Chain A
């Protein structure tokens, strides 16, 4: 099989040609028609499927009848198509699949994985056409009550401590998360909020894994507030890595955040 990590990046699409991508749970095709780009996206496959299939064929499409096909009308006839990767647009709340707690004074480093978003740009210079999730995560609420808080995406995590235990999935990013429990009491890790929209995405040059910088949460004595520290650049696990996408929004590098628990 060819390098499956190369399913994103720059592609050329001749007029009346269609490219298809089947990447894990996501499948989409892009067709280049006369002064327009056409896109059809389907998600909902197996969220842990590692398969990547790309295809290209000539196809002169007639009028679009399928209502799931999005059309993007453009003035130029550029053949350039950029498939980009983005981190999700909301924070991710990860719940351990089985109960996890961190004793007082301990500091652990484990790995959280979650599906990425795909962005499409066309033309030269590229104009963003759209973006969509490679797998639609469930919504969830994170806050002290049902009046205050924020909407996030929910995932379940195995809280793997060894990165080699992680299966390689080319549409998911991995964030190394360090939780340092500086309190005396144990920290039951019911759920942890990861501010992914403030993170950057990197691709390791060798195996092509997708990483974000590491995130450190320092839990102080009492309460669920934690000091958030974001690493600079790709994590050490990525070795040499290139930046794929910057953060969607800027956040203070050191901030007190509600990171561990919703209180209701």
Chain B
């Protein structure tokens, strides 16, 4: 049988030129609509246009080679069943990817958390989602995992709440503490005035009365607020004499014994702190906290 070199050449020409043209056309369409829709949608449309054109080009290229497309499609149907059984994982990822595209729980550029991975979405492909974590690692998560996992999207809403847990000593006036905390939130320009910041009572802890300061912040300023508020609280508490207690430990050996005597010996004044009154002889006692 004579080989139809001209037909092969024409088919190759259609394939190469067609694919290049499809690539250019899909990019042009994406750029044209990119200003009106987001990155996510324009990427999706670009891919859809490219795959659609590529399918047409491959079909016409095969037609040029003399294949009958009806027979090919029938064979492809049988083949796809066989391939489907052989590649269940890929098929599952593919279908999960379609669900993800339809459901749109996040978009390209969003910051999401999946299991232990938090990062920016680089791409949502048919088989996987690609993330760039904040320590600049590339993470590929299969779409099937994405569908099964709990996904937290940090970029969906423009504002979010920062919750800071803190404890104050039992002797403190809680109304005063509450006022100091709310004043801090009001003075910090990053902290939104509305919704109003809250101080929530969390419980009587082992060593402290536990509170939560909840302040709303613009999404982009979240890290700045998270870093600035604790500093301001510490400074304000020091200024107002409010104690942030830490767990205290009292040693007690029963009612029959006296507190353990501890004596220090005068060490040579090598570092100039030998006369520190805090290091003079004292019995060990609890410092006001709960005795356990």
Contacts and interface: CB of A to CB of B under 8 A. Distances in A.
Contacts of A146: 157, 159, 195, 216
Contacts of A140: 192-194
Contacts of B157: 146-147
Chain B, interface size category, equals 10 to 19
Interface stretch (B123-131, B183-191, B228-236, B246-254): B183-191
B74 interface: no
A147 B156 CA distance: 9
Interface string A233-264: 00000000000000000000000000000101
B190 A139 contact: yes
Given A146-B159, A147-B157, A141 B192 contact: yes
Nearest to A44: B189
B195 A138 contact: no
Residue among B189, B217, B221 with max Cβ neighbours from chain A (10 Å) = B189
Contact of B189 (A139, A141, A149, A151): A139
Contact of A141 (B186, B216, B221): B216
Nearest to A155: B193
5 contacts: A138-B191, A139-B218, A151-B218, A154-B193, A154-B194
B70 interface: no
A264 B195 contact: yes
Contacts of B221: 139
B158 interface: yes
A146 B159 CA distance: 7
A141 B192 CA distance: 7
Interface in B147-163: 157-159
Contact of B192 (A95, A138, A147): A138
Interface in A130-147: 136-142, 146-147
A191 interface: yes
A138 B193 contact: yes
